[in-house]
Structure 1
Amino acid sequence: MIRLFVLSIFVLAVNGDYCYNDVVQSCGAIGGAIGNCNSNYSAVHTVQPDLQHYTATHIDQNFQFLLMSAYFNNYEANREGFSKLYRQMADDAWEDTIDLIKYMAKRGFNMNYNIVPRKKVKIQSYKMYELSSLATALDMQKVLAEQAHEIHSEVTVRKKRYHDAETINFIEKEFVGKHADRIRDLAGHANDLHQLIADNKDPSLAIYLFDEHLKKVLA
């Protein structure tokens, strides 16, 4: 009876989707496939498309911030502080992109570079005023934060099919707090600048001093 029970367990194991089963079945066969021998486990597959779109948004924003930085660094705008701010945000977006691609590789799938971001802040012209640029940057950061929350909520479900503790930890550790800090900083910059130029007939001096402040803070 015991032998029969053990044999039944062995048969179930062999019929399951396991790496060991693939290896056993491919033994003796030239070029046998071992498709289950990968690092894909738990429910990461449920958010694979979302992680790829999240990464695509980071890539897209990297280029957007670079263009914003380039505009404020030209001879016409001449706002070195704003240029530094957006260059830093472009670099942050690129570093986060690399972290996301590495994480996806660790979990057993690759980035699809043909994906277009599901949601993005459309910029009609990169020749923008200082306050409107801060508002645009704030909206862009909120898009990233909302996408991170959506991914987190999808894998937080307790059902086995959807729950993925590693993705929860990754999103919380690498992005949730970071997005909150960036949004707070940008909202603060936007409100501070608005107060400086509100009801000011000649706001150029106030904008210049604010730009100098950014330049020193980001040095």
Structure 2
Amino acid sequence: MKSIIILCLVAFASANLSTDSGKSLETPCPPENLFGEVEAQDCCSNPDSCVEDSVFFHTDATSRIVDASKVDVYDEFIKYANEYLTRSYEYFFLAAQFGTYSKDRAGFEKLLNGLSDSAWNRGIDMIKQMAKRGIPHRYILNKDIEGIVSSANVTEMAAVAKAADIEKNLLIKANDIHRHHSHASLTASPSCGYDASLSHYIAEEIMEEKVDTVRTLTGYTNQLKRLFKQDPKLYPLSLFMFNQQLE
């Protein structure tokens, strides 16, 4: 009896297999596509249309974490990056005053050229930080910065004092921009400018280095002032030795 039942089941399965063998395999029609609603008939006739015609592939992806319509929240940071590029040229012109035949101060030239290279590299790095966030770079003119010109007859003390003043202003601006992007509030609008990663970058990569630079340059300035006040007649010799120290 068992053998008869097994034979009947085998025969029934073989009949169904032979009936389905002539049918073509079709893509199952999901009631709703992952990327949006698409008619089931279109999915069956053209499986690729389920993806190509979706809303997802007609919208560009973005890495911005703030409201895309209000990207001006980064304008101050962009201006700040542009100022580094501008200051790089200013430092370069100052350094050029101490590499001539009439004023050969290799130590001061090295110091100012180092500030120029550092400012340029930092400005480029900040532009890259904006690119990571999908923010296009724009050269926004800062009205607070005067035009950079190559001025002659700059004394060593004046050049170092000017560099110290520039670096101190950059530090103050970095502090203000950090406060803007680190204003954390759960109830604030996403377009308020809060960017934890950028505020961390400003604190760790810019402000820490800038504090040391300001301290060094203000120290040089005060030291030169003291040398001049102690004995103006010996100041040229003191300046020569100070230049040797910078080399």
**TM-score, scaled relative to structure 1:** 0.78
Residue 167 (structure 1) shift: 1.1
1:166 maps onto 2:184 in alignment:
no
- What residue in structure 2 maps to residue 200 of structure 1? 231
Q: Which residue of 122, 130, 139 corresponds with 2:165?
A: 139
> How far has the Cα of 1:122 moved from its partner?
6.5
Correspondences of 1:33-72 after superposition (within 5 Å): 33-35=58-60, 37-42=61-66, 45=71, 47-72=73-98
Greater RCO (CA < 8 Å, at least 6 residues apart): 1
State the shift of 1:28 in Å. 2.5
Give the 4+ runs in structure 1 shifted more than 6 A: 121-124
Q: Measured at CA, do residues 155 and 65 of structure 1 come closer, stay the same or move farther in structure 2, by a change above 3 Å?
A: same
1:176 aligns with 2:207: yes
Give me the whole-angstrom Cα distance separating, in 1, the residues matched to 2:76 and 2:113: 26
Please list every run of 5 or more consecutive structure 2 residues that lacks an aligned counterpart in the other structure.
Answer: 1-35, 37-50
Cα distance 1:153–1:92, how it changes in 2: closer, same or farther (>3 A)? Answer: same
1:47 Cα shift? 3.4
* Amino acid paired to 1:88: G
Q: Choose from 22, 25, 28 the match for 2:53.
A: 28
Residue correspondence of structure 1 range 79-90 to structure 2 within 5 A? 79-90=105-116
Q: Aligned pair count? A: 190
Residues in 2 aligned to 1:127 and 1:49: alpha-carbon distance in whole angstroms? 36
Residue deviations 1:60-119 (CA, integer Å, cap 9, x gap):
000001111111111111111000000000010011012101100001112113x22343
- 2:102 is paired with a residue whose SS is coil
1:193 and 1:34 map into 2 onto residues whose CA distance is 61
* TM-score normalised over the length of structure 2: 0.70
Tell me the C-alpha RMSD between the 2 structures. Answer: 2.6
Structure with greater Cα Rg: 2
Counterpart Cα distance in 2 of 1:126 and 1:173: 36
Unaligned runs of at least 5 residues, structure 1: 1-13, 15-25
Q: Would you say the 8 A contact 1:67–1:126 is kept in 2?
A: no
Instruction: Report how far residue 142 of structure 1 moved.
Output: 1.4
User: Which amino acid is 1:209 matched to?
Assistant: M
